[in-house]
């Protein structure tokens, strides 16, 4: 009887060990380092999706991940094609020429920050096509309009001037010849919540910028046609 129990126990152990096998379908297919920015390319071989995970080499950072269809097999071919630095704000344009996707990455050079990322399809390839086309400072909120002439996109980037902050970014279609300015058209404060309505008059875009007035806060942008 004891021998039978031992054999049954061994059989259960072997069976449970065999049931733990699983196939790996998510793999790292690329890596890019640009100064303190790290981008890892993760590909799901089953769904044919490829993902870019962005994070900053600093204490307290958090990653941001963007996924899209891997149209050319799997993986990406990523390079930096544009770079701007405006005071504490760093902006990098990365392009995946293999899949026709560009990403604008913005972050501030302070500990505890995380990047803000917006990605869009692109067919035309221009290097160093980023320019600042507007700047607005309202209280502790800093807003910059960046124009990507190569992709005909305008991107609004907002961040709060405090330690540990992270920016927010929204990109939208823009005509390169469009002239206009950034201006605050409305302002609301309820308790710790601050809401500012910012207008990009050249592109007729309105953006709600929201944040709380505490250290380590991050802004949020929501834009729409005005």
pLDDT at 22 over 60: no
Q: pLDDT by residue (tens digit) across 165-222?
A: 889 999 999 876 666 689 999 999 999 999 999 999 989 999 999 999 777 788 999 9
pLDDT digits (tens, 9 = 90+) for 117-156: 999 988 766 566 788 989 999 988 999 999 988 888 999 9
Rounded to whole angstroms, the Cα distance separating 73 from 64 reads 24
When the pLDDT of each residue in the chain is averaged and rounded to a whole number, the result is 83
Query: What distances in angstroms separate CA 132 from CA 17, 99, 139, 195, one per listed residue?
Result: 59, 27, 20, 24
pLDDT of residue 7: 41
User: Do residues 115 and 64 lie in contact, with contact meaning Cβ atoms separated by under 8 Å?
Assistant: yes
Distance CA 180, CA 204 (A): 9
Q: What is the dihedral of CA 69, 35, 92, 196, to 10 degrees?
A: 110
- Residue 155: closest CA among 202, 104, 195: 104
Interatomic CA distance for residues 201 and 133, integer angstroms: 12
pLDDT beyond 60 at 2: no
**pTM of the predicted model, to two decimals?**
0.82
Q: Tokens 């020429």 belong to which residue?
A: 97
pLDDT confidence band for 88 (50 / 70 / 90): confident
Q: Is the dihedral of CA 46, 96, 102, 91 positive or negative?
A: positive
> What pLDDT sits at residue 200?
93
CA–CA gap between residue 59 and residue 35 (Å, rounded): 15
Is residue 156 within 8 A of residue 221, CB to CB? The reply is yes
């Amino acid at each position: 009887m004891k021998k039978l129990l031992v054999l049954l126990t061994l059989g259960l152990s072997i069976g449970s060990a065999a049931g733990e096998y699983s196939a790996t379908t998510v793999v790292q297919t690329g890596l890019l380092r640009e100064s303190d920015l790290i981008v890892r390319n993760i590909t799901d071989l089953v769904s044919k999706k490829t993902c870019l995970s962005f994070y900053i080499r600093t204490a307290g950072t958090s990653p941001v991940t963007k996924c899209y269809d891997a149209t050319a097999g799997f993986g990406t071919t990523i390079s930096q094609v544009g770079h701007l630095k405006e005071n504490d704000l760093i902006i990098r344009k990365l392009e995946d020429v293999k899949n026709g996707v560009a990403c604008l990455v913005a972050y501030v050079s302070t500990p505890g920050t995380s990047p803000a990322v917006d990605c869009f399809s692109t067919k035309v390839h221009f290097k160093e096509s980023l320019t600042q086309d507007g700047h607005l400072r309202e209280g502790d909120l800093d807003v910059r309009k960046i124009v990507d002439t190569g992709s005909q996109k305008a991107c609004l980037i907002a961040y709060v001037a405090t330690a540990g902050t992270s920016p927010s970014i929204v990109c939208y279609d823009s005509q390169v010849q469009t002239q206009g300015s950034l201006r605050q058209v409305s302002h609301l404060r309820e308790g710790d919540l601050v809401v500012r309505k910012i207008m990009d008059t050249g592109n007729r875009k309105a953006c709600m910028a929201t944040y709380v007035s505490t250290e380590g806060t991050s802004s949020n942008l929501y834009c729409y046609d005005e």
